[in-house]
């Protein structure tokens, strides 16, 4: 006897909607059955659109996007292992209760065990949902990885960081330019830390803002082109700044893996 059947024993109790408890239980059960297939659609933490634009596509360079994919897959793998572990333990608990039920003489204890077994089976079936959702997420992330991956080494990834930070700080600064007409202190500091004059960038960004407002478009193509221009202008500046400060901006090969990221 499961919990729904227990509720049916009190079916004549007055409930909401001018119905009995039993009638509302039946309606609720039908609603659950009708909505259950949709759980397969909404079982992921993120939609495919959200994954593409707010997780994979939020970074300015392909190397950073791939780095984000790898981090996301690692987290999904951890969640997958944890859920599989919980499912395995649930199987052990159900088997143990079934074994106890074979020899249990006390009628009340037998009923308790039957209820626990029934509940355990339901929970076991539901435990598959987050596992399936995680598997879908991993395969979706892998599809994005395949679409943008180019053979690369850790050395190349490290080398691309200069381009990434120029684009990132410029984008952050541009948001403040649009809002307040000037670069805020945090992004000025970020520019300074990589050797770029924030006053120069403020002038360049204000020039772009004027151009943007004179030719407003619904897309960001002009801004993307401007970012590429900034990278070309500034790509050597951090290295020059490092030399002024007597630092070596070169990549330490002793601290990286040289082999490619491609799997066998």
What is the pLDDT averaged over residues 42-69?
Answer: 87
Let me know the angle formed at the C-alpha of 12 by 7 and 16, rounded to the nearest 5 degrees: 85
What tokens were used for 254? 């002793």
Q: What are the φ/ψ torsions at residue 118 (nearest 5 degrees)?
A: -60, -45
Among 4-18, 80-94, 151-165, name the one with the lowest average pLDDT.
4-18
Is residue 82 helix, strand or coil? helix
Confidence band for 76, pLDDT divided at 50, 70 and 90: very high
DSSP readout, 10-28? Answer: TTTSB-STT-BHHHHHHHH
DSSP readout, 195-249? Answer: T--HHHHHHHHHHHHHHHHHT--SS-HHHHHHHHHHHHHHTTHHHHHHHHTT---
Residues of the chain with pLDDT > 90, as a percent, come to 59
Tens of pLDDT, residues 1-36: 455 565 656 667 888 999 888 888 888 889 988 888
Q: How far is CA 100 from CA 2, 90, 114, in A?
A: 19, 15, 10
Q: For residue 208, what pLDDT is reported?
A: 97
H helices of 104-160, in order, are: 107-148, 154-159
What tokens were used for 144? 């994005």
d(CA 225, CA 66): 22
Residue 135: partners with Cβ closer than 8 Å, 6 or more residues away:
80
Q: For residue 261, what pLDDT is reported?
A: 45
What tokens were used for 138? 């991993």
Tens of pLDDT, residues 167-187: 999 999 999 999 999 999 999
Distance of CA 137 to the CA centre of its chain: 9
Q: For residue 4, what pLDDT is reported?
A: 57
What tokens were used for 152? 């690369």
Are 62 and 144 spatial neighbours (Cβ–Cβ below 8 Å)?
no
Indicate whether this model's pTM tops 0.85.
no
d(CA 204, CA 227): 11
Q: For residue 263, what pLDDT is reported?
A: 43
Tens of pLDDT, residues 111-130: 999 999 999 998 888 888 88
């Amino acid at each position: 006897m499961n919990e729904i059947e227990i509720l049916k024993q009190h079916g004549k109790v007055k409930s909401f909607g001018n119905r009995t408890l039993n009638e509302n239980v039946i309606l609720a059960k039908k609603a659950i059955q009708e909505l259950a297939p949709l759980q397969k659609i909404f079982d992921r933490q993120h939609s495919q659109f959200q994954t593409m634009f707010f997780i994979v596509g939020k970074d300015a360079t392909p190397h950073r996007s791939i780095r984000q994919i790898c981090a996301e897959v690692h987290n999904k793998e951890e969640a997958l292992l944890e859920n599989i572990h919980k499912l395995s333990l649930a199987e052990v608990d159900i088997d143990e209760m079934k074994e106890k039920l074979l020899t249990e003489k006390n009628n009340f204890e037998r009923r308790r065990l039957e209820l626990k077994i029934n509940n355990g089976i339901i929970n076991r079936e539901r435990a598959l949902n987050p596992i399936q959702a995680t598997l879908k997420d991993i395969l979706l992330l892998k599809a994005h990885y395949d679409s943008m991956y180019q053979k690369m080494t850790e050395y190349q990834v490290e080398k691309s960081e200069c381009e990434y930070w120029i684009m990132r700080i410029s984008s952050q600064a541009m948001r403040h330019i649009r809002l307040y007409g000037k670069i805020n202190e945090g992004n000025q500091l970020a520019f300074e830390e990589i050797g770029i004059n924030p006053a120069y960038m403020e002038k360049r960004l204000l020039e772009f803002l004027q151009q943007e407002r004179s030719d407003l478009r619904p897309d960001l193509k002009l801004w993307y082109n401007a970012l590429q221009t900034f990278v070309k202008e500034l790509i050597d500046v951090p290295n020059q700044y490092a030399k002024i400060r007597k630092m070596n901006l070169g990549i330490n090969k002793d601290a990286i893996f040289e082999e490619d990221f491609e799997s066998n």
